[in-house]
Amino acid sequence: MKLLKALGLGAVVVGAVGLAGFWFLTEPKRLDAAVLASAGAAGDASRGERIFWAGGCASCHAKPDAEGDARLELPGGVALKTAFGTFVAPNISQDAVDGIGKWSFDDFANAMMAGVAPDGSHLYPAFPYTSYARMKVEDVADLYAFMKTLPAVAGRAPGHELGFPFNIRRGLGLWKLLYLSSDPVIALPADADPKVLAGRYLVEGPGHCGECHTPRDLTGGSRKGLWLSGAVAAEGDGKVPNLTGGEGGLGGWSAGDIAYYLESGFTPDYDSVGGAMADVQRNMARLPAADREAIAAYVKAIPPHPNGY
- Per residue of the chain (309 residues), give pLDDT as tens: 666 565 565 556 555 555 566 555 789 999 999 999 998 778 999 999 999 999 999 999 999 888 999 999 999 999 999 989 999 999 999 999 999 999 999 999 999 999 999 999 999 999 999 999 999 999 999 999 999 999 999 999 999 999 998 999 999 999 999 999 999 999 999 899 999 999 999 999 999 999 999 999 999 999 999 999 999 988 767 899 999 999 999 999 999 999 999 999 999 998 999 888 999 999 999 999 999 999 999 999 999 999 988
The angle, 0 to 180 degrees and rounded to 10, between the axes of the packed helices 2-25 and 172-179 is: 60
29 and 178 together in one domain: yes
Is 10 within a domain? no
209 and 105 together in one domain: no
282 and 305 together in one domain: yes
Report how many helices (DSSP H) and strands (DSSP E) the chain contains, helices first.
Answer: 13, 4
71 and 85 together in one domain: yes
Out of 182, 210, 228, a domain closes at: 182
69 and 167 together in one domain: yes
Answer whether 183's CB lies under 8 Å from 35's CB: no
pLDDT for residue 270: 87
Out of 147, 182, 217, a domain closes at: 182
Quickly count: other Cβ atoms within 10 Å of residue 263's Cβ: 16
Is 151 within a domain? yes
206 and 258 together in one domain: yes
Phi, psi at residue 23, to the nearest 5°? Answer: -65, -40
pLDDT for residue 65: 85
53 and 90 together in one domain: yes
d(CA 89, CA 124): 10
Q: Which of 39, 41, 77, 71 is nearest to 58 (CA)?
A: 71
d(CA 269, CA 215): 26
168 and 36 together in one domain: yes
> Domain residues for 262?
184-309
The 8-class DSSP code of residue 9 comes to: H
176 and 86 together in one domain: yes
Q: How far is CA 120 from CA 30, 97, 111, 115, 291, in A?
A: 8, 18, 10, 10, 35
Domain count, the chain: 2
d(CA 55, CA 280): 9
pLDDT for residue 40: 77
d(CA 31, CA 38): 11
151 and 204 together in one domain: no
Is 16 within a domain? no
217 and 302 together in one domain: yes
Phi, psi at residue 226, to the nearest 5°? Answer: -120, 40
251 and 277 together in one domain: yes
